A = this chain, B = another copy of it.
Amino acid sequence: MNKTTMAAAATVLLAGTVAAHAEVSLYGKVDLGIVQESGGTDGSVLRLSSGVLSPSRLGFKAGFQLSDGLKVSTQLETGLCADSNNNPEGEFCTGGTFMGRVAKLALSGRFGELSAGRQFTPVFLNQDNFDPFGTGLAGQASNLFAATFRTNNSLIYTTPSFGGLTASATYAFGEAPGSSTTGRRFGGSVAYNKGPLQIGAAYDQADVSETDRIKDANIGASYDFGALTLYGMFERVTGRRNYLLGVGVPIGKGTLMASVAQAKDSGDAHDDASQAGVGYVYPINEQLKAYTAYAHISNKNGARYTVGNSTDTGTGDSAFNVGLTLSF
């Protein structure tokens, strides 16, 4: 494809978009990296993996301004496996099914945003926000932390920012005939973001059955001192407590990131684990990032935490990553 082609190229026509000034965007990400895992029960393994820093994906966004200042928009995002057609995470890698990463319809305006569909949980968004690795690479908090990433059949209301303060509330339908509770999910978050300081807290409650309920709460904070950003996070989930301290240091155009984290049993089993990770992400340009990372987990008393990455749960107690992410 060259300039000549570009000049002569037909534009993609969007059916029926004339009157309402449609804006539709196509976007995507292809992430491929080499992952060396060791310390697993079956031995070491060297992989080419899709989605090490961030899951490979393809997405569509469309939005329309309604006459009364209200905006309606949709986002459909599917995972894909850029390495293989035979992937243990399911054929669409993260997200599970076609358009299973995000599928939502949202109304937004001065009142904030109300969205419906398959969406990220508030606990995931909060965990992602205070993890210096941002839910990717070997050092990700989610190797130990427990936030459920997405919720089906959900309604989310997010307030506008009141001087840096925002809040959200989530309700997901259980959709179990005859039960008003089974399968439903509640959640919410509060965040404060002003200058260098960010603080956030989130809660998620999953009513697995009429008698079984999983509760997850996390709180995090970060402060950007210029020369470095410090991160701290605590999670209390049914039966466990998890802790994280991290740092992000701008070095050149890139960012060095490091964190230590702990997972602790609240009961008597003490199947605890601690993780240390370090990584570097370098933006070659606005659309291409190079990355490398290493993390190790010490499992105690039979704990079986593994070092994964943005797409894989991993097989071993340590992993090294190196790769590229192209965004378009």
Shortest A230–chain B CB gap in Å is: 28
Chain B residues with Cβ under 8 A from A150's Cβ? 85
Please, which residue of chain B has its CB at the minimum distance from the CB of A4?
A: B18
A86 to B50, CA, bound (A): 23
Task: Say if the beta carbon of A162 comes within 8 Å of chain B.
Answer: no
Does A82 lie within 8 Å of B12, measured CB to CB? no
- Near B by CB (< 8 A), chain A positions 44-82 give 44-48, 50, 56, 58, 60-64, 66-67, 72, 74, 76, 78, 80-82
Shortest A285–chain B CB gap in Å is: 5
Task: Say if the beta carbon of A15 comes within 8 Å of chain B.
Answer: yes
Does A80 lie within 8 Å of B103, measured CB to CB? yes
Task: Say if the beta carbon of A179 comes within 8 Å of chain B.
Answer: yes
Shortest A94–chain B CB gap in Å is: 11
Task: Say if the beta carbon of A9 comes within 8 Å of chain B.
Answer: yes
> Residue A118 contacts which of B1, B20, B85, B287 (CB distance < 8 angstroms)?
B85
> Residue A152 contacts which of B84, B104, B176, B288 (CB distance < 8 angstroms)?
B84
Does B60 lie within 8 Å of A20, measured CB to CB? no
Does A116 lie within 8 Å of B11, measured CB to CB? no
Does B91 lie within 8 Å of A16, measured CB to CB? no
Task: Say if the beta carbon of A97 comes within 8 Å of chain B.
Answer: yes
A: interface residue count bin: 35 or more
> Residue A105 contacts which of B82, B97, B176, B315 (CB distance < 8 angstroms)?
B82
A-B pairs with beta carbons under 8 Å apart, 28 shown? A1-B63, A9-B17, A11-B11, A12-B26, A13-B25, A15-B25, A15-B61, A16-B27, A17-B328, A19-B285, A20-B285, A24-B26, A30-B74, A37-B177, A43-B177, A44-B178, A46-B173, A48-B116, A48-B117, A48-B173, A62-B326, A64-B326, A80-B98, A82-B104, A83-B103, A86-B96, A86-B152, A92-B98
Instruction: Apart from A9-B14, A85-B118, A86-B96, list 7 A-B contacts with CB within 8 A.
Output: A14-B25, A43-B179, A62-B326, A66-B288, A81-B118, A82-B99, A98-B98
Binding site for B on A (CB under 8 A): 1, 5-6, 8-28, 30, 32, 37, 40, 42-48, 50, 56, 58, 60-64, 66-67, 72, 74, 76, 78, 80-86, 91-92, 95-100, 103-105, 116-118, 150, 152-155, 172-173, 175-179, 284-288, 315, 324, 326-328
